[in-house]
A and B are shown apart, each in its own frame.
Chain A
């Protein structure tokens, strides 16, 4: 079923009751050309572009829970591409380009909303570092602009611009083309479009082992629903990459940390852009349902508990209330954590592993949602051709051997 104005209109008359299932509930076949482990946005996008761009349709996405139940459904959905280094700018800007046409491409409303992402400067150091980003971005053709204090106040009238604030706002970077999207819709839209092109989406099926041939290459995956053969395997299991890769004896330069977010009770529209601050360390936007969506910094220690410590969430609320004192009386409804895979340079790993036939797309850490379509697109190229897409090439696993890190961690002090 294709969505159109007509289907919407018709559904208005029949109580929205005649929508069919949006993707097939597939049972595993004995083997596939490509198995993608992990049914988050990145895995589903990978499968979609494999089918669409490379005609590889004998593909399964294997998900241990339900699709989009991992970080895709847990994140604060900020989309931007104003990263410092050339490699990162190319990577995230490629994704931003795809975001613009994604609803049309998938015939599914992912609610991409380029409402502008404001990154606040509070200190001399912030000003220098943010201006450096703005200039580097301009050289790379990436949209980003410096706003003076007065311009910030005009762009986001709700902000506390008082010079008496503990961390007064002195300026900001603004990426007008950045914004947010509806996270669940991204997973569902890619799943639906991939399934329509023949991809099997297999939910409630956990990969518990990776079987190897005598020559060391991959033979398939052991799952909670039995063995499934594969010529190639793409591991796209944010938050679990170390465990899945260990099944093939690959040890990654990754550690997994909780990252928390929270939402307030819904309220009338009060904030029409995304506001981030590395110095007070909180970020906030308002969802279309009206909730304030607040993100924290990652927790201090390695953990898979999907909870994190209360004081980390409290600090994020403190930061947001410092920026918007009028939010102080709002009630918080939910607080949760996701497990993010952090690499030492806070850049992802996309490409080959030492195991023939085994490919990784992981380590997106605290900021991979924004890359979802781009990540799937370039990883599909890698899986289909066996060679990295030019944009993916610098993000190889062996950069940790050669020392060619893409150190966005050092560039930003935090990464989102």
Chain B
């Protein structure tokens, strides 16, 4: 089980959280205006790296807030978490 560092509550076990996917996926400003390619990329295409991954977590059984964290997807080790809305860390491209 992962030990996840909520920026508001500290380290808590994974079962208190819900995973909410890759972070920093930007919604096109006006979906009616954007190309299908851009919309498909927003909806479906993900980096899915074998390496550092910026991801969203929801502390459903705690403060109930969303936040972002950076985790290495091969070792599952976290290397920091930060409030939603702040810019993401530089992630290496992964293999």
Nearest Cβ in chain A — how far from B13, in angstroms? 8
| Complex CA–CA separation, A311 to B2 (angstroms) | 10
Q: What's the nearest-Cβ distance from chain A to residue B74, in Å?
A: 5
Decide: B45 and A251 in contact? CB cutoff 8 A. yes
A-B contacts, CB under 8 A, total:
68
B73 in complex: contacting residue of A252, A254, A305, A310, CB < 8 Å: A305
Q: Are A253 and B76 in contact (CB under 8 A)?
A: no
- The answer to whether B45 and A305 have CB atoms under 8 Å apart is no
Among the listed B37, B44, B49, which residue makes an inter-chain contact with A253, where contact means beta carbons less than 8 Å apart?
B44
Separation in Å of the A305 CB from the closest CB of chain B?
A: 5
A302 with B15, Cβ < 8 A, contacts A253-B45, A309-B2, A400-B40 known: no
Number of A residues with CB within 8 Å of any CB on chain B: 23
- Within 207-246 of A, Cβ neighbours of B (below 8 Å) are at 240, 242-243
A54 at the interface (CB under 8 A from B): no
| CA of A11 to CA of B66, assembled, Å | 63
CB contacts (< 8 Å) of A400 on chain B: these are: 40, 43-45
Could you tell me the dominant secondary structure of chain A's interface residues? loop
Q: How far is the CA of A187 from the CA of B23 in the complex (A)?
A: 38
Q: How far is the CB of A41 from the nearest CB of chain B, in Å? A: 22
CB-based contact A242/B1 at 8 Å:
no
A256 on the interface (CB 8 Å rule)? yes
The 8 A-B pairs of least Cβ separation, nearest first, read A253-B44, A242-B48, A300-B19, A301-B19, A309-B1, A400-B44, A251-B45, A401-B40
Which residues in A have some Cβ–Cβ distance to B below 8 Å? 240, 242-243, 251-256, 300-305, 307, 309-311, 344, 400-402
State the B residues within 8 Å of A (CB): 1-2, 14-15, 18-19, 21-22, 36-37, 40-41, 43-50, 53, 55, 71, 73-76, 94-95
Given contacts A256-B48, A300-B14, A401-B36, 5 further A-B contacts (CB under 8 A): A242-B48, A251-B47, A305-B76, A309-B2, A401-B37
